[in-house]
Amino acid sequence: MTVAYAPGKIILFGEHAVVYGRPAIAVPVTQVRAQVVVGHGEKGRGIVIVARDLGHTFTIARGKAKQMTNPLQIMVANALEYLGLGLERDLRITIESSIPIARGLGSGAAVSTAMTRALARYFSRELTAEEVSDLVYEVEKLHHGTPSGIDNTVIAHQRPVYFTREQKSETFQVAKPLLFIIADTGVESPTKMVVGAVRQAWEESKDRYEALFSSVGDVAKRARWAIEEGDVDEVGRLMDENHRLLQAMDVSSSQLDALVKAAKRHGALGAKLSGAGRGGNMIALVTPQTCEVVKDALEREGAQGVIQTEVQVSMV
């Protein structure tokens, strides 16, 4: 029996614009994670996938692989094929995750990453982070339609990344710790749906949206510099700017805006939505002195869950 884990993630800068070739910054969130256990299955039952948090069990029966439609089944099939193994085997795969679904924390990519690693280890193989990321990206297409690739990249590498689509992602230096509060609106935010809505708006008003995307990309570039230089105040100001641009794209919501305002009123250095928007999570940059005050304010404002996470000092 083997087990593997994968963290959640948050996008600090660059939502939506990253789909259109602009840079984005994302970091892992180790306070929540997906766990996958692979073990011997009951003889003759094929591959059984138990998704405990969903309350569902999926089976890849012998000789019926072509009937697979669920992303979990397809992830298993893709991983085994990549490892040079067939589906004609008996396995039991158990999935558990503390990452909220459809909240912009990368739950789908984390489960796929943990599953790929657990299967590889079960068959005494180790895959590189790049190999895992590439495999997970194929399933991300099923979850999100036209994903940027940022979720699978940051979760597979488990380090802060500066990401530009169709270019090699870069890890970079974090000069000073960054302390974040992640607050859940309690509203599901299906990435595929919101990304599709932005694409439709872009098609109807390309000049306006291209300008917005370029402004968001510029914010991400400046934010990388601020993080590498340890200018935490500037990181906060850029978060505020990024949120205003996302509002202009019509991907914020009344709940997200209320949480952003509450965080700012109570001392956050910056605050913005994180992920697809129209629900999901907002993030606030705080200090050790303001952390608890901002947490309390967000809970009073109606946040359905609050997570504290720190991006620690690192070198490339």
Per-residue model confidence as pLDDT tens digits over 30-72: 889 999 999 999 998 889 999 988 889 999 876 655 667 788 9
pLDDT of the residue at 151: 87
141 and 8 in one domain?
yes
229 and 97 in one domain?
no
Catalytic residue status for 90: no
Region 244-269 average pLDDT: 98
Q: Is residue 236 part of a domain?
A: yes
228 and 155 in one domain?
no
Question: Is the pLDDT score of 254 beyond 80?
Answer: yes
149 and 11 in one domain?
yes
143 and 11 in one domain?
yes
182 and 97 in one domain?
no
Of the candidates 105, 112, 116, 121, the one whose C-alpha atom is nearest the C-alpha of residue 26 is: 105
- CATH number, domain containing residue 196: 3.30.70.890
127 and 181 in one domain?
no
Question: Is the pLDDT score of 315 beyond 90?
Answer: no
The pTM score is: 0.83
Per the model's pLDDT, the better-predicted residue between 59 and 236 turns out to be 236
Q: Is residue 247 part of a domain?
A: yes
Q: Is residue 114 part of a domain?
A: yes
Per the model's pLDDT, the better-predicted residue between 63 and 290 turns out to be 290
177 and 130 in one domain?
no
Pseudo-torsion of CA 235, 248, 155, 160, nearest 10°? -20
Q: Is residue 168 part of a domain?
A: no
| pLDDT category of residue 145 using cuts at 50, 70 and 90 | low
Q: Which of 163, 187, 218 is the last residue of a domain?
A: 163
Sequence letter at residue 247: Q
Region 260-281 average pLDDT: 96
Q: Is residue 107 part of a domain?
A: yes
Phi, psi of 119 (to 5 degrees): -65, -45
Those residues whose C-beta lies under 8 Å from the C-beta of residue 303, and which sit 6 or more positions away, are 183, 184, 185, 186, 259
Per-residue model confidence as pLDDT tens digits over 68-106: 778 899 999 999 999 999 888 999 999 999 988 877 788
Cα angle 112, 115, 120; round to 5: 125
The domain total for the chain is: 2
Task: State the catalytic residue, choosing from 151, 207, 218, 296.
Answer: 151
Q: Which of 110, 135, 163 is the last residue of a domain?
A: 163
Per-residue model confidence as pLDDT tens digits over 107-141: 899 999 999 999 999 999 989 999 999 999 988 87
- Straight-line distance from the first to the last Cα atom of the chain, in angstroms, rounded to the nearest whole number: 34
Those residues whose C-beta lies under 8 Å from the C-beta of residue 153, and which sit 6 or more positions away, are 26, 133, 161, 163, 169
- CATH number, domain containing residue 73: 3.30.230.10
228 and 153 in one domain?
no
Q: Which of 133, 163, 193 is the last residue of a domain?
A: 163
Region 24-34 average pLDDT: 92
134 and 195 in one domain?
no
Query: Hey, which bits of 104-184 come out as E strands?
Result: 161-163, 170-171, 178-184
pLDDT of the residue at 54: 82
Per the model's pLDDT, the better-predicted residue between 188 and 213 turns out to be 213
Q: Is residue 250 part of a domain?
A: yes
144 and 193 in one domain?
no
Per-residue model confidence as pLDDT tens digits over 151-193: 898 999 998 999 998 888 888 889 999 999 999 999 988 778 8
Question: Is the pLDDT score of 17 beyond 90?
Answer: yes
DSSP element (H, E) containing 56: strand 56-60
Q: Which two tokens stand for residue 6?
A: 């994968």
181 and 157 in one domain?
no
Range of the domain at 30: 2-163
pLDDT of the residue at 83: 95
| pLDDT category of residue 146 using cuts at 50, 70 and 90 | low
Q: Is residue 316 part of a domain?
A: no
